[in-house]
Copies of this chain bind each other. A is one copy, B any other.
Amino acid sequence: MARRNDVLALAVLGLLHDSPMHGYELRKHLTAMLGSFRALSYGSLYPCLKDLTARGWLSQSGATAAPPHALSGKRARIVYQLTAEGKERFGAMLGESGPASWDDENFDVRFAFFARLDADTRLRILEGRRTRLQERLDGVRQSFARTRERLDEYTSELQRHGLESVERDIRWLDDLIDHERRGSSRGPNEQKE
């Protein structure tokens, strides 16, 4: 089990599920995916690729693999693709609903592949996430109440804003859950912009 950056491994497997890629390309997709906020360094990507290959979940090939603009292919490249075992592991990892598996940044990454899960698993995961978020909210609210009078107005206002954000996240999850329960056939595209 990859104790080594589970989230990154999952994202790599998921991206390679669609089409083989080489490192540089992977990084671009990854930073575009979750990276609008968090950057990803090669220092973790390449070791991760090496690790996944050693596990037998990826296979390498030095081929060309359709570069964006037609290229002769002389350039040194290592194209990675999923093995059968890799696909299997990806499915298993994605379906996990363990306590830490679907929290915070893990959630963002996993959510990118959410459509590949079946309706039951989706619902189960959303509810689990909601529960844990609610628990955390309660905890923060308690410690907030305990220290409230000792805080100046700025700190207090910051905490209030933080609580409100979490509450909003929970409501967002509620909407998703509701939508999943109602009609799994149609997508949750109801942007009110």
Contacts and interface: CB of A to CB of B under 8 A. Distances in A.
Interface bracket on A:
20 to 34
A184 to B, nearest CB: 12
A172 B161 contact: yes
A45 B176 CA distance: 40
Contact of A187 (B139, B153, B169): B153
A188 B154 CA distance: 8
Contact of A112 (B140, B143, B155, B191): B155
A41 interface: no
A176 B191 contact: no
Interface of A: 32, 36-37, 108, 111-112, 114-115, 139-140, 143-144, 147, 150, 152-158, 160-162, 165, 168-169, 172, 176, 187-189, 191, 193
User: Which A-B residue pairs are the 10 nearest by beta carbons?
Assistant: A153-B187, A152-B191, A114-B154, A115-B152, A36-B140, A111-B158, A112-B155, A161-B172, A115-B154, A153-B189
